Structure 1
Amino acid sequence: MSSVNINVLYEDNHLLVVEKPVNILSQGDNTNDKDMVNLLKAYLKEKYNKPGNVYLGLVHRLDRPVGGAMVFAKTSKAASRLSEQVRNKTFKKTYRAVINGKMRKQSDTLKDYLYKNKKTNMVSVVSESHKDSKYAELSYATLAFKDKMSLVQIDLKTGRPHQIRVQFASRNNPLVGDQRYGKNSKVGQQIALWSYKIEIVHPVTKEKMEFVCEPPKEYPWNVFDK
């Protein structure tokens, strides 16, 4: 796949579920850097020897630095039905993250109002009365604590830009490696946020499906394997 090795987790006539590598765009932008949509279109074109354009529907996005499970649609019908699941929240996304320190509670629900500054591309927690604020909610559970870091599992209730990063950073527990919202991250260190599990209803068979993608066996994830 154009020198980017992408792990396919599941594929049928309607769905393509893959492990998105870190630092690859979900969709092309003005940087012209490699992106998942075009890489996977090239993969489908080559695999099925298809002439002309290949259809691939982008159902949801992951921030560029985030890796893990990602679902794409191979038909417009599947794309429409999966997008509807995203809207009605039957498309469930579970993340894992390594945060600095320890949250006050072992598990909790975080509720905030977020504002994205389009000029700086920075997101901040604001009051509910802020005219451009968007409600953000997630639940987390702490799985382990070691070396002044916590491994947390996150059930994302709303999908706001940079939501996970901002909600933890605002409580003084920024994600390890987050140079944008954390103060002590080393330059070049990868942000420790991973799309761990996606649950959907198959757009055609209506079967409930679950796709799990384990984080990489590298720092800081491997700290919790020992």
Structure 2
Amino acid sequence: MGIQERILFEDNHLLVLNKLCGELVQGDATGDQTLADKAKQYLRDTYHKEGNVYLGIPHRLDRPTSGIVVYAKTEKALVRLNEMFKGSAVKKIYWAIVDKVPPQDEGTLVHYLIRDPKPNKSIATPVERKGSKLAKLDYRLIASSKTYFLLEIQLHTGRHHQIRAQLAAIGLHIKGDLKYGASRSNPDGGICLHARKISFLHPVKKTEVEIVADPQHDNLWDAFLQQVER
């Protein structure tokens, strides 16, 4: 699927895209083409730009995760977005398909996360430890099938692998997420964690921006989407 079909919002300052599972938001040691590379090429082709194209990256999504990614087309927007994403000015809603029913239909999870760089994982503990960071999220069960359950999650902090680690800590595993205890991988190598909705004050225009992204089409995501939209 091309970039143009995945544009969720665009103006002079922002370009918001629906990332696919497996895409990199920005470059890493693999050297693989990134979503930012594709976005820059789209800007070159569409606006007949030559040479380097400016595109700032104020936040990240894990490679196996899908959903909303915000890029800044101007330096002014990037500086302000960086501050907004650091604080609580950006409201982020995720969808996660998990393998078990949560202990309650809705609730709040509070843990302390410790990042282990060797396996590139975060470990969630109930008590604070040296080097740990507070992690907090709200969840609610919004749809279910015979074997899987769809959670809507609002993040209150933005930690490394936060949702994956916190759900694993209460015995829930995101479909396809082998790193955090899922029983098997997904065919596309991704995980069923999707950045569904984002809302914030436009960094330049100061108007409210609210963006929603549907997950990639497959039988399970489509069935859950139908349930939610009923």
- TM-score for both structures, normalised by structure 1: 0.93
Q: Does the alignment pair 1:222 with 2:222? A: yes
Q: Does the alignment pair 1:5 with 2:2? A: yes
Inter-partner Cα distance in structure 1 for 2:223 and 2:20:
21
> One-letter code of the match for 2:137?
L
Q: Corresponding residue for 2:209?
A: 209
Q: Corresponding residue for 1:95?
A: 94
Q: Show the 5 A alignment for 1:172-187.
A: 172-186=171-185
> One-letter code of the match for 1:210?
E
Q: Which moved more, 1:161-170 or 1:179-188?
A: 179-188
Q: Show the 5 A alignment for 1:129-140.
A: 129-140=128-139
Inter-partner Cα distance in structure 2 for 1:11 and 1:187:
31
| Identical counterparts, % of pairs | 40
Q: Which moved more, 1:77-86 or 1:186-195?
A: 186-195
- Write out per-residue CA displacement over residues 138-180 of structure 1, whole angstroms, 9 at most, x where no aligned residue: 1011101221321111101111111111111111111111111
Q: 1:221 to 1:185 in 2, by over 3 A?
A: same
Show structure 1 runs of 4+ deviating over 6 A. none
Inter-partner Cα distance in structure 1 for 2:46 and 2:132:
44
Q: Does the alignment pair 1:166 with 2:165? A: yes
Q: Corresponding residue for 2:40?
A: 41
8 Å Cα contact 2:93/2:195 also seen in 1:
yes
Q: Show the 5 A alignment for 1:55-134.
A: 55-126=54-125, 128-134=127-133
Q: Corresponding residue for 1:199?
A: 199
8 Å Cα contact 2:176/2:192 also seen in 1:
yes
Aligned-pair distance for 1:58? 0.1
What is the root-mean-square deviation in Å for CA atoms of aligned residues? 1.5
Inter-partner Cα distance in structure 2 for 1:139 and 1:126:
17
Inter-partner Cα distance in structure 2 for 1:39 and 1:29:
15
- TM-score for both structures, normalised by structure 2: 0.92
Aligned-pair distance for 1:80? 0.8
Aligned-pair distance for 1:88? 2.4
SS of the residue corresponding to residue 180 of structure 1 reads: helix
SS of the residue corresponding to residue 179 of structure 2 reads: coil
Q: 1:127 to 1:142 in 2, by over 3 A?
A: closer
> One-letter code of the match for 2:39?
L
8 Å Cα contact 2:174/2:182 also seen in 1:
no
8 Å Cα contact 1:16/1:73 also seen in 2:
yes
Q: Does the alignment pair 1:141 with 2:179? A: no
Q: 1:175 to 1:183 in 2, by over 3 A?
A: closer
